[in-house]
Amino acid sequence: MSHTNFLYSAAFVFVLAFVVSASGADEKMNVLFIAADDMNCDLSVYGNSQVKTPNLERLMKIGVRFDNAYCQQPLCGPSRASLMTGLRPDTLDMHTLKHELRQKNPDVVTLGQLFRQNGYFSARAGKIYHYGNPGQIGTDANDDPATWDMKFNPAGIDKKQEDKITRYGPQKGGLGISMAWWDPESKDTDHTDGMVATKIIELINQKKDEPFFLAAGFYNPHCPYVAPKKYFDLYPLDEISIPNLDEAKKDLLDVPAMAIQRDMRNWPYYFKGVSSKQARKCKQAYYACNSFVDAQVGRLLDALEENGLMDKTIIVFWSDHGYFLGEKGLWYKRKAFERSARMPMLIAAPGMSNDKSSQKPVELLDLYPTLADLCGLQAPKNLEGKSLTPLLNDPNDASWTKPAVTQVWHNKRAWGYSIRTERWRYTEWLEGAAGRELYDHRNDPDEIENLAGKAEFADVVSKLSKKLQSYVMLKDHKRVSSNR
């Protein structure tokens, strides 16, 4: 070989080695984005040993559990739109279940859209944006086409055989707000959520050699509570308890009327005529649905492991808000209490902390900047969340002082905002004109005693009220009564 050819060959090898090295260093991280619908923190991974969620525990072993994670609004539509845009409901001007994301925000870049713009394959199966559940299962519902390269809308027996569902209370109206359940002898894959998992597994297998953003949107445990019977069998009915109603009623005596105005017409349990026995059955069914979702999470984790993708995939598990199951005699969401605003959120990111928990208040809209940050993507400048990367490195990072803010909007005359710090939850209805609430979570995690009217807490109320003011950005057409 001539001297010139030798130098050329050596140079080529050097350049090739550099390119290979650089491409390895710049290899994109995948994202598996897993959503549950209406799931609260009644889970073994959050310390409730009764509710079996071994696969979420498995996820925590490789990641961080956020113990104080909160939604922006405890209602599916605005919560999910906020999460997927990194913007608060007030900024989006979205507070209902209407399909209006692009109508009101035509230029917004959604989370999945950002990944698409950066060379990722972006796809979903099931519910990520709002879907009427079960009414819109199997359709596009409120989906955003710009977010995805591919979408999949399965419909299982929970949708196709609704006539077999047992329903308590009023027998009219949709099942989307109902006390209803069904425990068929069935396979997981007969159900919509089993089909969601199957499709995402297929996509993991197909796209394992290219960067992906895959979203698995489970419909459970949203009512009607339907899951295979084997999950119901995990929860003998005689082991399901419901709070004492006399004590529950006392919990509400010092609460502003606006805080529970939707709930008191037929109190308890929202519907007239629902008995405590029936509520226990629905709670059993809800727990069964939690374990059913957990099993599907396990299938997804198995698929990543089988494809050797665990070290190059960021896994996020979240729910859109919390849920009442008889506490204070209440049911469902759409309340500013902790149990409605708080939901599970776990993040497993290769190279970050594992088997840790964080007590810092965080928000669902923090997920967008976090995933952009972890994947090295340039996020939009207007995001209102904050990257959780510092907490993934150190779950108790003292520099994290951002509170979590949740709002409730019923109509122009009924709305409020709630701020959560590490110790306090403080809520104002119509900026205080319709009442205030203050709960000390260091001593009162169940929010039994409202301290807002006590003189010794006036300074706390004043400080939190001032801190909350900057988050009240409700547009004029969405308000009538306020102090503005």
Active-site residue set: 76, 130
**Token pair recorded at residue 294:** 């957990």
Nearest Cα to 405, choosing from 478, 341, 484, 344?
341
Cα 412 from chain centre: 26
**Token pair recorded at residue 296:** 């599907």
**Token pair recorded at residue 333:** 């969401």
- Euclidean distance between CA atoms 298 and 302, whole angstroms: 6
Q: Which residue has the tokens 């006539």?
A: 163
Q: Which residue has the tokens 């099993």?
A: 295
Burial environment of residue 70 by CB neighbours within 10 A (0 to 12, 13 to 18, 19 or more): buried
Query: Residue 189 carries which DSSP code?
Result: G
- Euclidean distance between CA atoms 124 and 78, whole angstroms: 19
Sign, CA dihedral 139-143-145-149, equals negative
How many other CB atoms are there within 10 angstroms of residue 72's CB atom? Answer: 30
- Please give the C-alpha separations between residue 20 and each of 16, 17, 246, 346, in angstroms, as whole numbers: 6, 5, 69, 33
Burial environment of residue 369 by CB neighbours within 10 A (0 to 12, 13 to 18, 19 or more): buried
The phi, psi pair for 22, rounded to 5°, reads -65, -40
* Pairing assessment for the beta strands 150-152 and 121-126 based on DSSP bridges: parallel
